Structure 1
């Protein structure tokens, strides 16, 4: 049985990994370099390099004939799913639930507050030595709709609590009850959108959520609503968003775009009322400690033949 583990972080930098001598695991460092660290056929546990293009993430998969676990360091798995069809049956795909919640929720609040309070305009005013006073929208008393109420959506709600929002409405793939209140199903969105002042997209990218925020979705938003996307760029129909923001009817704050990276000259760069950050929701100082703890815990479970955490699917 193969025992190679491919890690995008050097093993000697991760506290708590199973001891190679006791576990039989062999750690190989690979962060997406052109040359593989060993024969991919000998890899049993593949940790996908973080913040690398899809082509890098899936490149070794077809040759990983003995792999048993594919572990991402991202919450989303859309960058590896195109390569899963080349894997043998029974391979567990696990995501990084627990790693990105704090950072992504922080940025979500930063984008909301910056957009509502006019921070981009203040920065431009400072550059021009202009004093841009006046009244600006507050987050207080706003109705907030979170579309995608998983662990990140819940972390966002945690951070909304002190801001005196009028209400927080939750939406996920299917309806359920929580201690905080009901979670609505995606099918309820048409009736919920008109009442929202701020709509936060924190949903995974799936066939059901691609272009979820299309022309019909955006048309249901009230005048002056703010759309915040911290999920994946294709969850929003870019052309539809440009049409709505071009009229000045709604505003948007985007940590992700479609296309991404956003090329020079793209109209989103200068779209009216649009604030863009370069997909940095999870890439903060909080990432590495949490990622290392996740890998140590997962590999300890793997070495001891215990059930893994964060399993999203198993190949067939």
Structure 2
């Protein structure tokens, strides 16, 4: 009589609040159909659990925000570890060189997390061209309606030019969602060719040309040494008067002092979900400027949107346990040029 193959042992490694939000009982029950996992066993810091039993037979880590770095010392405690399924976006915080040296398989839910970021971006683009923020502020203050065309000549979303910096997962999703609108779409990405850009629905241009020719510019590049302050004072000055900069990527892509000077002058507008630093000083004018919409890094998956990440991670676990390849693998080479 044939024996039933042993299911691989899995372990949660993430912040407790994230585990509770991402993997409620029904999600754990589905995971348990493919792997052995103890819903009560959670690692937030390997250094704080030196006596944690049974790590030597862990084959699969299910990680998310708050996962401790998987360095050589940690991996030494898990000699059978073969794969990491990340129920979040970037794996850069915890997947170290030691993971690649071990030859671990790595998966991410970045594609699932890209959806709400793209949706936020599209809303920002549409509201920016319609001057919703400024009109709402004026209406709230004066309780009066005026001829908005006189105040904002040419405003609206018909035949406006929107530029995306970076063809990341989010950037590509934004292009997809913007396709039905009457926009001219420009794209700047040094790793892309013209044919690929056309297939994505955009025209590939150099960054300076994009900045100078767009009504709205949205950032979707990764935070790398070569993208630090990619938009400096010179490049911000290229934006046309009245243009809007949208940043849902990383605050380090923009010179914060130069941006603050530009928006403080009233020359351009900004929608900022990320800043440098992540929480600005209380004295920052970006909190109160009427031409700036500042949100506290909420574009990514929150609330009910987390379910999309949960499903993505569970499906990757199921693929691994069935002996199939990941649908959303992460490679060392791709990670070097991505978020």
TM-score (norm 1): 0.80
Matched, 1:47 2:62: yes
- Structure 1 contact 78–206 (Cα < 8 Å) conserved: no
Structure 2: runs of 5+ lacking an equivalent = 1-5, 14-18, 334-339
Q: Which residue is 1:103 aligned to?
A: 116
Structure 1: runs of 5+ lacking an equivalent = 51-55
Quote the offset at 1:312 in angstroms.
2.4
Q: 1:5 is matched with which residue: 11, 15, 18?
A: 11
Q: Deviations over 1:169-196 (max 9, x none)?
A: 12334123243456637xx212332111
Give the Cα separation in 2 of the matches to 1:132 and 1:79.
50
Matched, 1:291 2:309: yes
Write the mapping of 1:1-316 to structure 2, written as runs, cut at 5 A: 3-6=9-12, 8=19, 9-10=22-23, 12-14=25-27, 16-17=30-31, 19=33, 23-24=35-36, 30=42, 32=44, 38=52, 41-42=55-56, 43-50=58-65, 56-58=66-68, 61=71, 62-65=73-76, 66=78, 67-80=81-94, 84-85=96-97, 87=99, 89-125=102-138, 128=141, 130-131=143-144, 133=146, 134-135=148-149, 136=152, 137-165=155-183, 167-176=184-193, 177-178=195-196, 179-181=199-201, 184=204, 188-271=206-289, 273-314=291-332
SS in 2 for 1:100: helix
Give the Cα separation in 1 of the matches to 2:54 and 2:296.
32
SS in 1 for 2:115: helix
Quote the offset at 1:4 in angstroms.
3.2
- Structure 2 contact 64–88 (Cα < 8 Å) conserved: no
Give the Cα separation in 1 of the matches to 2:53 and 2:265.
55
Q: 1:78 to 1:129 in 2, by over 3 A?
A: farther
Q: 1:46 to 1:211 in 2, by over 3 A?
A: farther
Give the total of aligned pairs.
Answer: 303
Give the Cα separation in 1 of the matches to 2:54 and 2:214.
49
Q: Which residue is 1:53 aligned to?
A: none
Give the Cα separation in 1 of the matches to 2:226 and 2:117.
22
- The root-mean-square deviation of aligned C-alpha atoms, in Å, is 3.3
Quote the offset at 1:49 in angstroms.
3.0
Quote the offset at 1:30 in angstroms.
3.3
Give the Cα separation in 2 of the matches to 1:181 and 1:10.
37
- Structure 1 contact 30–49 (Cα < 8 Å) conserved: no
Q: 1:268 to 1:287 in 2, by over 3 A?
A: same
Give the Cα separation in 1 of the matches to 2:126 and 2:266.
19
Q: Which one has the bigger helix percentage? A: 2
- Structure 1 contact 122–132 (Cα < 8 Å) conserved: no
SS in 2 for 1:45: strand
Give the Cα separation in 2 of the matches to 1:242 and 1:212.
15
- Structure 2 contact 176–200 (Cα < 8 Å) conserved: no
Quote the offset at 1:209 in angstroms.
2.1
Quote the offset at 1:242 in angstroms.
1.0
Moved more, 69-78 or 133-142: 69-78
Q: 1:300 to 1:28 in 2, by over 3 A?
A: farther
TM-score (norm 2): 0.75
Q: 1:254 to 1:125 in 2, by over 3 A?
A: same
Give the Cα separation in 2 of the matches to 1:46 and 1:308.
14
